[in-house]
Amino acid sequence: MPALTDAGAPDWRRNLAAVTVATFIGFTGFTLVMPFLPLYFEQLGVKDTGAIAVWSGVSLGVTPAVTALMAPVWARVAERYGRKLMVARSLFSFVVIMGAMAYVTAPWQVFALRAVQGFFAGYGMLALTMAFRPEVLMLDEPLAGLDPVVREQILNTVIHELSERGCTVFLSSHEILEVEKVCDRATIISNGRLILDMETDALKSGVRRILLTLTSPVEILPSHPSILSVKSRGTELDIVVKDFDENLVGSLTSNLKVKDRKVEGLTLQEIFINLTHGREEKS
């Protein structure tokens, strides 16, 4: 049972300390073996330098490769049986496999054990979810370099569950299309300057694209403080505005001969581009 504070809430400090120690020991053992693996292959009878390099490379690479393939599987198992059990399973298998490496007699056996280690690995992200239950958590580029399956796993399990527990999650990311699925407030920084901080729904309702079809091309592009970007292509006029309302549309079109008008919403990524790189374009 988790330790309770005076308020009856789980003591996240104890969880944080336990997971930190376990993760440190696990990753230390995992990384310390790397510099000595070539020497181990030499002791196993591999004398050619090129062969040692090949065996070392494939043996080191197979573990994270298999881990990446198995990550979605273990995530689903963890959702069903609990993360604590999965972390214990991974660390226990790590100890057994590292002990078995002391008894190998051929290079291929090291490679095989490293592959099995990757099969049972993947406790890092699960351990993070067990560490503590903070009020605020900051994640810097949590999706960078990950394949779509793992990205979906992080968004739909880790981040979603943390937010459901009452934790405010700050996501600093350039993967705007991905984080848009879970964020309810957007903060945009450009050139080291804060240019926007507001709720995502309010932002998306306030920034709109106005598509106008005119009877003839315009000589001078419309100008207004609310215009973020304006593009003209023949009789087509594409205007992105902030603080959208019907009065603004009327003001922009008052001096234009409009045949057709359409208003569209923008994705968070399109809003970011227009807020930070708004421009005029005429062709």
SS3 content of the chain, % helix, strand, coil (to 5): 55, 20, 25
Cβ(198)–Cβ(186) below 8 Å: yes
What's the pLDDT at 126? Answer: 59
Taking the CB of residue 186, how many other CB atoms lie within 10 A of it? 21
Average pLDDT over residues 118-136: 66
Residue of 28, 128, 118 whose CA lies nearest to 84:
128
Average pLDDT over residues 268-276: 85
Residue range(s) occupied by CATH 3.30.70 in the chain: 204-282
DSSP string, 120-178: H--HHHHHHHHH---SEEEEESTTTT--HHHHHHIIIIIIHHHHHTT-EEEEE-S-HHH
Length of the chain: 283
21 class by beta-carbon count within 10 Å (0-12 exposed, 13-18 middle, 19+ buried): exposed
Query: pLDDT category, 2, cuts 50, 70, 90?
Result: very low
Average pLDDT over residues 40-66: 89
Tens of pLDDT, residues 234-264: 888 888 888 888 888 888 888 888 888 888 8
CATH architecture classification, 204-282 = 2-Layer Sandwich (3.30)
Question: Which letter does DSSP use for residue 24 in this model?
Answer: H
CA atoms of 200 and 182, how far apart (whole Å): 10
List b or e across 68-99, with b for residues whose CB sees 16 or more CB atoms inside 10 angstroms. bebbeebbeebeeeebeebbebbbebbeebee
DSSP string, 29-68: HHHHTTTTHHHHHHHTT---HHHHHHHHHHHHHHHHHHHH
Cβ(120)–Cβ(90) below 8 Å: yes
CA atoms of 54 and 189, how far apart (whole Å): 45
Average pLDDT over residues 134-153: 79
CA distances from 171 to 13, 117, 151 (A): 23, 31, 13
CA atoms of 123 and 86, how far apart (whole Å): 7
Tens of pLDDT, residues 97-109: 888 988 999 999 9
Tens of pLDDT, residues 22-37: 778 777 777 777 788 8
Tens of pLDDT, residues 158-185: 676 666 767 778 888 888 888 888 888 8
- The yes-or-no verdict on residue 7 having pLDDT over 60 is no
Cβ(237)–Cβ(158) below 8 Å: no
Structure-token pair, residue 59? 């043996």
List b or e across 252-264, with b for residues whose CB sees 16 or more CB atoms inside 10 angstroms. bbeeeeeeeeeee
